[in-house]
Amino acid sequence: MIRINRPDFPEVPDIPAPSLWTIGPDGWCTNARPVPSPNYNGRPDPADIALLVIHNISLPQGQFANGNIENLFLNRLDCDCHASFDSLRDLKVSSHFLIARDGQLIQFVSTLERAWHAGISSFDGRSGCNDFSIGIELEGCDDLPFETVQYETLGALTQCLLARFPIQHIAGHNEIAPGRKTDPGPFFDWQHFTQSLSGLA
């Protein structure tokens, strides 16, 4: 069973709903637009992929479809173009996936490699969640609802990841870095997401 990290939610069957999406032998999703980031390295144990982490991101906060997220993950962000970017200077981060507001799926790092999305983190007694997790960013923020099409893409992607990897838990960034992170935020609809994976939506 796959455990959504919320005590009031049901477990998800090991065999998810059918998905036409696939993860290739190189760890890249066939349905994603590949934008390779230099910000990754090898996992300590390539077979140890047990956690899926859901994030939100927007640069600046609440502003979308401006290319800034891709530029951040590619180390190309112009940190002089907005005051809030000053803290991002010299930051090297990435995520495996980004789901844009229009539902487009972009992949930055092979799922077989370690993306740098979790930072200082721990889950289920284990520290360093980048080692054993896959990170999915939703273009959004804590103050606005996500788009229906983003949930559709997230559901299809999650199903193909569950079919490929021994993922046992799905958690928000706030749950692996409590007090430091708040995403995916109060507007992320965990109930809808869980029901879609259980075939109930």
Catalytic residues: 137
Contact residues for 124 (Cβ-Cβ < 8 A; gap 6+): 51, 169
- DSSP 3-state assignment of 135? strand
37 in Cβ contact with 109 (< 8 Å): yes
What does the buried/exposed string (b/e) look like for 71-85 if buried means 16 or more CB atoms within 10 Å of the residue's CB? Answer: ebbbeebebeebeeb
Tokens of 188: 């992320």
Backbone angles phi, psi at 23, to 5 degrees: -105, 120
Closest to 52 (Cα-Cα) out of 9, 96, 18: 96
